């Protein structure tokens, strides 16, 4: 069974109605990116950041996977599918995709502000209990913070994602501008000769690589991709 690896971005979640910083000119609910999505913002006002992500979870839980999410999952019948996503929502999980790497974190999870990757301090939130009171402490005594990669922080799962990308027999980019690093750099880990598909309605930088560009939005583009992939399964 061929290994099919996806890199997905905000364009996939947008079709489910989730807003992004880029699409709202750097503002969400009248907050700047620096205030609610940076390490400096967290240090300056952890209460604001905690409440902001409480709101993001409420918003996420109101949304459902769209056709693009479902079509990605459906390809598991013919391929060994893995998803590397820049999105922090859980819509790929809701669609049933089994193997997912969240490069930029998960909105439904909280963690230690002293050591983000200390799994003993992770708190997995649920639809019935999705909010965290500001000032709540993790098991190590530090403040619980959102399990997201703030601007200015390292991306701890990028090495895992790069190793996965090297195993791909087919690599597909859906709904990302390929302007955000280090995620965009994953293209250079695709083995020589492996076909690369990019689904995005706008031109995207492909870093000198030959790609099959499907210039459509995520769901429409995924329909076309599925038709093209069937002979390759």
Asked if 205 and 211 count as a contact pair (C-beta separation under 8 A), the reply is no
Half-sphere exposure of 226 (CA within 13 A, CB side): 18
CB-based burial label for 162 (10 Å; 0-12, 13-18, 19+): middle
End-to-end distance of the chain based on CA atoms, in angstroms?
7
Instruction: Assess whether the previous peptide bond of 182 is cis (omega < 30° from 0).
Output: yes
Q: Which residues are catalytic?
A: 104
Q: How are beta strands 80-85 and 3-8 bridged, if at all?
A: parallel
């Amino acid at each position: 069974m061929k290994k099919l690896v996806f890199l997905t971005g905000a364009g996939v979640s947008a079709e489910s109605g989730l807003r992004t910083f880029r699409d709202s000119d750097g503002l969400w609910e009248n907050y700047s990116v620096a205030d609610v999505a940076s390490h400096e913002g967290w240090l300056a006002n952890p209460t604001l950041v905690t409440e902001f992500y409480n709101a993001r979870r409420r918003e996420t839980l109101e949304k459902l996977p769209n056709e693009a999410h479902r079509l990605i999952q459906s390809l598991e019948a013919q391929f060994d599918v893995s998803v590397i996503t820049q999105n922090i929502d859980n819509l790929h999980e809701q669609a049933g995709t089994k193997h997912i790497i969240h490069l930029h974190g998960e909105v439904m999870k909280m963690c230690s502000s002293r050591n983000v990757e200390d799994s003993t301090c992770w708190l997995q939130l649920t639809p019935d209990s999705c909010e965290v009171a500001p000032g709540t402490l993790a098991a190590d005594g530090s403040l619980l913070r959102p399990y997201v990669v703030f601007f200015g922080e390292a991306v701890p799962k990028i090495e895992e994602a790069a190793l996965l990308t090297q195993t791909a027999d087919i690599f597909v980019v859906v709904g990302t501008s390929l302007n955000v690093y280090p995620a965009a750099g994953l293209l250079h880990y695709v083995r020589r000769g492996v076909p690369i598909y990019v689904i995005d309605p706008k031109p995207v930088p492909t870093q000198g690589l030959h790609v099959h560009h499907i210039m459509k939005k995520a769901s429409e583009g995924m329909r076309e991709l599925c038709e093209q992939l069937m002979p390759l399964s």
